[in-house]
Amino acid sequence: MTATAPAFSLRDITGESRAFPTGRPSLICFVKEDCNTCNLTASVLEAFHRAWGEKADVWMVGQSADGNAILKDRHGLTLPILDDSALRTSLAWGFDIVPAVYWIGADDTPRPPLEGFVRDEWEALAQRIAGELKAPAPELAWSELPDWRPGCGSKHLDPEIHDRLLAETEGSPIRARRIEIASADDIDEFMFDQGFSDGLPVVPPTPERVLRMLTGTKRDPQDIVAIVPPNMAPATVEKIAINAVMAGCRPEYLPVVIAAVEAVCTDEFNMHGVTATTMGASPVLVVNGPIRARIGMNMKLAALGNGNRANATIGRALRLVIRNLGGARPGGVDRSTLSSPLKFTMCFAEWEEGSPWDPLHVERGFNLEDSVVTAFAMTSGPVQIVDQESRKPDQIAGTLGLGLEGMFLSKIHRMPVDALLVVCPEHVRTLTVDGDYSKARLRERIQTVTSRPLREMVSNEISGAGIPLASAAKMTEAQLATPVPKFASDKNIHIVVAGSEAGKFSAAFHGWVTGAAGSTVVSRKIDC
């Protein structure tokens, strides 16, 4: 309650408009008809009105028009009963429990409200009012009233109603354009028709849902997080929250979505190129740090698949931001030949606790206790790498390498392309059966087992891809015999651990072009 009681104008049960303040002392009591304690106090309020009505305004403010009529008839009330069924006045006055009774004396200062019914407090209030008005207190059989009765929760605090009311207030943080939908329209079909969807149904981003989503971050709703290509549209926290609602996120996921938007909208990641390439590239998100457990992300069984709300909706929210703000829609800037399911969503958490290695974010320069999201531009995956027979570390490392050799085409080597290798726990155990097997050693092994002579990469009758015959003709035999690994650098091989503890199935995501001509892996700390 503020130092000055909020003004209001409401109609009473007869239709007469009554405005507060009135210039006179006032007793204002908020009630609802289905509250037993409100019904208990109705006769007390009526007695107050009869005793002081000439010197003060005694008003009952009801939270339902129908309920007001019932209260009037049930208790034979003559005091003014005002209609606050819109609940805006209740919100402005800021109480929690009904009945909530306020005494605003001649000094126009509201006293702390009485919520519920405590007989001694109400009787003391009657004596205080009588003293200030210099008028007799009403004759009430106080001893026949109960000592105490709890009140009921005010209707304006119902979660769905409260969020809607906040969204409608003048101080609402929501600034995005609102779209009115005809009552006869199907809202889900409308969202499809307007192109807001990725092809699957979306959650309508009502103001109350957006406000609820914004509780997931401390950032100002109008902070500009990034400029989203290809439209180069400003992505405010509010607009990201709108798309997070549509994706089905919970508020606690919002900081991850915000950090992901920051990551992919950098020049290094090159979201415009990722979108426009005919190869069908799309962001793949890996989350590290304490936030994984806090928001219930999946890093174990089925980590790369369906079934986990956080994984699925965080990735989808990012894609909707790129679509709805950036304008990256198929047939427009998005010119993917086949495209990929990754364009719906792909986000998972690394199982750091099941890994013998430094987690991804620590490798990339962050502290272990930091929560971080890392974005990769991937064209396909997850592609499973199956090995249920190998028992030696170098064997399983060799299998992982051979699984990666098929990226794009097995005869294309020395690729300036990132790969994201997801090693399952059983393969990790095989790698470390004899002790430490570092990531550096695993990368070296992958490069060794994928090394092939240059001559195997020359265009031939089997496949015209690879080194052109004209270029190969200029090479010496020694050059053609030179072994070339799959990747241009060990740094192109990114390794994380995830998956069920049972099953010898690792997986790989195949990247797009790496570097200035393509996309660089980008990590961002999550503001928790």
36 and 96 assigned to the same domain? yes
Are the C-beta atoms of residues 218 and 251 closer than 8 Å to each other? no
Dihedral through CA 520, CA 521, CA 522, CA 525, nearest 10? -170
How far is residue 317 CA from its own chain's centroid? 8
Contacts of 283 (CB under 8 A, 6+ apart): 260, 264, 269, 271, 274, 315, 318, 319, 322, 342, 346, 375, 376, 377, 378
Q: What is the pLDDT of residue 109?
A: 72
71 and 198 assigned to the same domain? no
Last residue of a domain, one of 157, 173, 208: 157
Residue 249 in domain? yes
Residue 163 in domain? no
How far apart (Å, rounded) are the C-alpha atoms in residues 370 and 11? Answer: 55
For residue 274, CA distances in Å to 257, 267, 429, 520 come to 18, 11, 35, 11
How far apart (Å, rounded) are the C-alpha atoms in residues 515 and 457? Answer: 23
255 and 348 assigned to the same domain? yes
Q: Is the dihedral of CA 459, 464, 467, 468 positive or negative?
A: positive
86 and 219 assigned to the same domain? no
For residue 88, CA distances in Å to 38, 91, 158, 489 come to 19, 5, 13, 63
Last residue of a domain, one of 139, 157, 175: 157
How far apart (Å, rounded) are the C-alpha atoms in residues 153 and 270? Answer: 51
How far is residue 500 CA from its own chain's centroid? 26
Residue 56 in domain? yes
Are the C-beta atoms of residues 310 and 260 closer than 8 Å to each other? no
200 and 122 assigned to the same domain? no
Query: Could you tell me the pTM of the whole model?
Result: 0.75
Residue 60 in domain? yes
Query: Structurally, how many domains does the chain consist of?
Result: 2
Q: Which residue type, as a one-letter code, is found at position 414?
A: R
301 and 391 assigned to the same domain? yes
Secondary structure of residue 443 in the 3-state scheme: helix
Any bridge partners for residue 422, and if so which?
496, 507
H or E segment to which residue 509 belongs: strand 505-513
Q: How many CA atoms lie within 13 A of 318 on its CB side?
A: 34
How far is residue 45 CA from its own chain's centroid? 46
341 and 419 assigned to the same domain? yes
DSSP code per residue over 125-164:
HHHHHHHHHTSPPP---GGGS-SEE--EE-GGGSHHHHHH
244 and 365 assigned to the same domain? yes
Contacts of 332 (CB under 8 A, 6+ apart): none
Residue 146 in domain? yes
Measured from the Cβ of residue 477, the count of other Cβ atoms closer than 10 Å reads 8
How far apart (Å, rounded) are the C-alpha atoms in residues 207 and 174? Answer: 7
How far apart (Å, rounded) are the C-alpha atoms in residues 67 and 71? Answer: 6
Return the residue matching tokens 């399952």. Answer: 424
138 and 215 assigned to the same domain? no
* Residue 63's CATH number: 3.40.30.10
For residue 145, CA distances in Å to 28, 74, 392 come to 21, 18, 83
Chunk the chain into consecutive blocks of 10 residues (it has 528) and report each block's average pLDDT, rounded to whole numbers: 78 94 94 96 96 95 95 96 94 93 82 92 95 93 94 89 73 73 86 92 92 95 95 95 98 98 98 95 98 98 97 98 95 92 97 98 98 97 96 98 94 93 98 96 98 94 93 94 96 98 97 93 95
239 and 133 assigned to the same domain? no
Any bridge partners for residue 115, and if so which?
100
Question: Which residue, among 179, 324, 175, has the nearest Cα to 243 in the 3D structure?
Answer: 324
Q: What is the pLDDT of residue 170?
A: 59
99 and 234 assigned to the same domain? no
For residue 505, CA distances in Å to 181, 288, 335, 395, 425 come to 49, 22, 33, 14, 9
Contacts of 320 (CB under 8 A, 6+ apart): 196, 198, 202, 243, 246, 247
Domain with 76, as residue range(s), is 8-157
DSSP code per residue over 323-380:
HHTT---BTTTB--SS--GGGT--EEE--GGG-SS--HHHHTT--TT--EEEEEEEEE
Last residue of a domain, one of 136, 157, 178: 157
Residue 181 in domain? no
Residue 466 in domain? no
Residue 164 in domain? no
For residue 193, CA distances in Å to 185, 199, 210 come to 11, 11, 21
How far is residue 237 CA from its own chain's centroid? 11
372 and 498 assigned to the same domain? yes
